[in-house]
Amino acid sequence: MRGAARLLAMIGAVLCLAAASDPSERLADPAQEARARELFQEVRCLVCQNESIDDSEAELAGDLRRVVRDEIVAGRSDAEIRRFLVERYGEFVLLKPAFSAGNAALWLAPFGIVLVGGALLFGLLRRRPKAEALSVEEETRLKALLDQE
């Protein structure tokens, strides 16, 4: 019985969090509000940086939620809204930025630097002069020096 009470309390807490947005901000059309909520999950809060605007309590996140809702009411598509936000705030505003050559270079550059460094190190080690064997005369002098100690 206690487990059921805990489960109900947890479900209630989750539902309270889901309904935490201000009802006055919600769109009248449930389909439009659902679209807005999906977009909220894709847009980064620029204050919190690791949260979506749907999860954030920051004032800027509230402003971005209003912007997204206004764009939806204006009849813009999801792609147009994303493009608008990227033009205004930069690609950082998207939690999952689009693949581009710049992003690929940013992610692959560290691996390239390690590979180039490894190749240079390998090349330098290969070119290092090899130690030559001691001549008979050098061996006898070395033996004499070691015997003096």
Query: Does the 14-93 domain belong in CATH 2.60.120.620?
Result: no
Specify the pLDDT at position 8: 61
Task: Judge contact between 65 and 53, C-beta under 8 A.
Answer: yes
**Directed axis angle between helix 78-89 and helix 59-73, to 10°?**
140
pLDDT tens, residue by residue, 1-22: 576 767 665 665 555 444 445 5
pTM above 0.85, yes or no: no
Task: Judge contact between 33 and 70, C-beta under 8 A.
Answer: no
pLDDT tens, residue by residue, 88-114: 988 889 888 878 888 888 889 999 999
What are the residue ranges spanned by the domains of the chain? 14-93, 100-126
Residue 46 in tokens: 């620029």
- Which 3 state secondary structure label does DSSP give 20? coil
